[in-house]
Amino acid sequence: MTSEQTQFQLSGDRRRSSKLSQQPTQPPTAVPGYAPQRFLGAGAYGQVWVAVDKNTGRQVAIKFFEHRAGVNWSLLSREVEKLVFLTADRYVVQLHEVGWDSDPPYYVMEYVENGSLDDRLQSRGPLAVPDAVSLFRDVVTGMTHAHRKGVLHCDLKPANILLDQDEKPRIADFGQSRLTSEQAPALGTLFYMPAEQASLNAVPDSRWDVYALGAMLYCMIMGRPPHRSGEAISEIDSSATLEERLDKYRDFIKSAPPVTDHRKVKGVDRALADIIDRCLATKPSDRFPSVLSIREALDRREEARVRRPLQLLGIVGPLLLLLTVAVFGYRAYKQAIKRAENLALVKSHDENRFAAKAVARNVGTQIEKRFTVLERVANDKGFARLVRDLTGNETAAGYLKILGDPDADASVRAQAKSEFQIMELRRNGKKSTDESLSMGMQSQMEDYLSDRRLPGVASWFITDANGTMLAAAFPRSAGTSPVGDNFRYRTYFHGGLEDDNSEGHVVSREFPPLDKIQLSTPFRSTATNTYKVAISAPVKFNNKTIGVVAVTLELGDFVKFPENTPDFCAVLIDGRPNEYGGIVFQHPLFEQLKGAKGKLPKQIDIGDQSLRADLDSLNDEKLFDYVDPLGELDEQYKGEWIAAAAPVTYPRYDGHVEEFDTGLRLVVERRVEAVIEPVSRLADTLFREAIAALFAITLVSVLLWYFVLRMMQDSLAALRSGPSSSTDSQSVHSRDTIAMPGDKQ
């Protein structure tokens, strides 16, 4: 313990010792049949002692009215009169005996063990709100009984509320009380009496007790009476006369702003705060009209508190139910939409796969026709003889030898190419036999090209056994003629998977001609500068390959897909694992970009790696996240696609039926957004309907609660304007009570 604490304790002990030394050691007079035990307290009109009933051994309290000059003995008779009125009321301290003839006179009342409410507040501080309300209700009930019997207390305060062994209140000290029929003024205690009571001409009013009850409840919650402050007390006590003191108190209460601190206390709800405020209203007309009204207000508050969980459940319950239904409904909605989208995607994929197979079969059939025609040409003996005669001609053979010689000088080869292309004798304007052979081969190629039964053919050409082009035919001018150039590095000549792209091509190495008909890999035409594929076949004479005949194709012309749109289209690609793998041969975008001459813009190179399809993804038939490579060229083809691929094959009859895989892949792709759009529209419709349903349910709930709240507001209005309930208490009349002038002793 610190020195300061020690000094404080010693100071407190000295104060208590001084107080005890000033207390009387004997009651003013002996009371027959009672043995005094201890001094209990003193008030404006006398002393109170604790004594023991000698007959029963029961403790009692004896209040002595001391002799003083000008004592008004009617005070004793008045208080006894009121206590007799309230005999057997458990909320009021009970009267046992009166000593009228004693000097001084006294009366004996029951002893209440736990002292006054004021002692409790000073020793322990403010009460918890539930405890304060419970005690207050009992005091209000006691005062309701008193008012019903016509008794107005006129000096209610914590010091006049005694607490029994069960901490229940008993109302005490009716020294200032009045009957409702009396007109004599009665002064209460500062800050517990209303402004209109602080007058020597005031007529007793039940609303005085209403104000005092509100001040008591405020004090129980806050630990001090309303409006009380050191400054106010000093100002009031500075008055010279009682009238001035009362005037200052009355003016102070009327001018003071309404108290609000109690509303900040935890546990003080709006209804309880309103009860306190209405009790403490400055104007009597604004207060509860009676103590019974306070009890009724307390009852309504309690009923509201009891109903509050049900009301909360009535509000929160439907909201929680609505929220639960909304959460699970939304989850079910999302899952249903997801399942519907997946089903739509699966169905679309199945449709795409079916369409891809059908279109691929049609493309295969078209290619098969070209294979059949080319085989017939290659196996035609007359055609083979024409090739043999041309390549075996002495003049032509000389040129072809130079053109096929990798060591020949470039200028010599250029001259040989020029001479081979002309192959004519200008003498006398007559054509030689050599020129006739050359022109006959060229005429043959042009006849094949003009065959209307084979639409989509880009060119016909034939090479010798070393890859030098003997003749070629194109549907339109090809610019520089490829006749005389050597193409043995091309896959359509040697039958391999890739062209030989080494510099100079013809001088790099030897390539033997292919030995069977096949579809070449894509290549860029030296004549038209466009990508093509060729069907090529060996031309044999006496079982010796003497040349290669080929027809080039623009495969896009074979793809007939009437549904072609930016959302649903068919695409033809090269699916072979070579350097050209993934090249897009046919795409709806190509038709949009082709110029007047049927060619793509020069800046678009379909061989560009960025414009090729992903072959790895195309190996899987279930393509739900396919990316169209031409989305790089046009925004309308960007995004996710659902695609299905089918190989382009056709049957071959070589003793038995065998499907020949061309290496091409037909991809039917459909935009994912377009596939799930109907589901999205349905989802939007369902969502709007759900929102409308939630809104309707909410609106109905709000309307129902609107009527409930209106009814509750009516109850609240009644709470503010009607009566309410209260509690009782009891105590010894203290010196704070202002005595009437004629009552001074």
What 3-state DSSP class applies to 405?
A: coil
**Amino acid sitting at position 449:** L
List the one residue out of 407, 193, 369, 398 whose CA is nearest residue 282: 193
A 10 A CB-CB count for 457 gives: 22
List the one residue out of 574, 572, 576 whose CA is nearest residue 560: 572
Number of H helices, E strands in the chain: 17, 20
For 546, half-sphere exposure in the C-beta direction (CA atoms, 13 angstrom radius) is 19
Active site residue 434: no
Query: Which region holds residue 727: left if phi is over 0, alpha if psi is between -120 and 50, else beta?
Result: beta
Q: Partners of 653 in the beta sheet?
A: 657
Contact 149, 86 (CB under 8 A): yes
**Catalytic hit among 89, 118, 138, 155:** 155
Please give the Cα distance from 584 to 465 (Å, whole number): 31
Please give the Cα distance from 228 to 259 (Å, whole number): 11
Please give the Cα distance from 522 to 491 (Å, whole number): 9
The beta strands (E) that lie in 588-709 are given as 623-627, 640-653, 657-671
Judged on CB neighbours under 10 Å (0-12, 13-18, 19+), 85 is middle
Handedness of CA 565, 567, 568, 574 (dihedral sign): positive
- Token code pair at residue 506: 């013809």
Phi and psi (nearest 5°) for 91?
Answer: -95, 0
For β-strands 640-653 and 623-627, DSSP reports them as antiparallel
Please give the Cα distance from 416 to 420 (Å, whole number): 6
Enzyme catalytic residues:
155
